[in-house]
Amino acid sequence: MSSNAKKQPVLGRGLGALLQNSETDITSANGSTVGSIAMLPISAIEANPFNPRTHFEKEALDELCESIKIHGIIQPLTVRKLGRDKYQLISGERRFRASQMSGLSEVPAYIRIANDQTMLEMALVENIQRENLNAIEVALSFERLLEECNLTQEQLSEKVAKSRSSIANHIRLLKLPAEIQVGVRDSLISMGHARALVSLSNEEEQLKRYNQIISEQLSVRDIESLLKSSPKKTTVSSSAKSIELNSSQKVFKDFLGERLSAKVAIQKTKNGNGKLSIQFDSESDLNRIIELLKR
C-alpha cells in the first residue's frame, strides 16, 4: 500500500464499537459515556502536568505526525474527564502532540473517570471475547488491561482465558508500522501474515514484504517460506562467530520474549562470551519492560 493510497477511516468498525455495547458501557452520573471511544476536540484536552516525561524527540514527533496525516490515529488517547467538556490526558501525549502538529481538530480517545478501573477492566475483558474484533483491536485491549489496570500477563491470561503466548503475539502486532496495523485492521492481511512480519527487525523490510503479500496475494505459508529462505545479514564478525543455542537456552529466549512482549536475542561465541539483547521501540516501551523485570 503506497503512502498516496486513499486514507482509511481513523476507527475501524469493530474498534468504534469496542465499548459501546449497551450492557458494558460505563456511564458517569451526568450521563456521558465513559469507557467507550469518543471523538474529542483537541482544544478540550489538556496535558497531564504530572507526566514525568518532559522531553519528546522532535524527529520522532515529526515522523508520527506524518503517519497520523496518512493513517489517522491507530491507538486512541486515554483521557480523564475533568468537568463539562474538559479532559486531561492519562496516556498518549506523543500522539496528542503529533495530532496538534498535523492540524487535526479532534482525536479518538478513551474516556475515564476517577473510580472506573474495575468497570473498565470488566468491559474490556467481556469485549475481548467478541468475535467481531480484529487482531489489532484485541491487541489494544490487551495492552490497556496490562498498562491501565496494572495486570500482569499471568493475571490477564486467567481473566481472558487465553494463553500468555497468544497475548504476547497480539501485543507484538502493535510494534509494526502504522500502515501494516491498518492492513490488519482492514483485513488486507491476516494476523498470521502480521506475525511473520514482526520477525523482521527492519521497518523498511517489513513494509516491503507487506506490500509484496498484497500485490502477489501471498498466503501465510508463502511469506513464512520466503522469509526463511531469505539470506540473513551477518551481525557478528567472523572472529566472534555466534554458535547455536542449546535447547534450554532457546526455551529461555522464547519465554523471556513472551514474558516481556519484546524481541529477545541471545548470541554466544565459541569463547563462551556473548550478549543478551532486548529490543524496545520507545522510551515508554523501555519503561514497560523495566517494570516487568522488577516483578
Query: Known catalytic residues?
Result: 93
Instruction: List the beta strands (DSSP E) in the chain.
Output: 26-27, 33-34, 37-41, 45-46, 77-83, 86-91, 106-112, 242-243, 264-269, 274-278
Distances (CA, A) of 173 to 19, 165, 262, 292: 21, 13, 11, 19
Q: How many CA atoms lie within 13 A of 9 on its CB side?
A: 9
Alpha carbon of 282 to those of 58, 134, 160, 175, 290: distances in Å?
13, 25, 27, 10, 12
Label residue 283 exposed, middle or buried (CB < 10 Å: 0-12, 13-18, 19+): middle
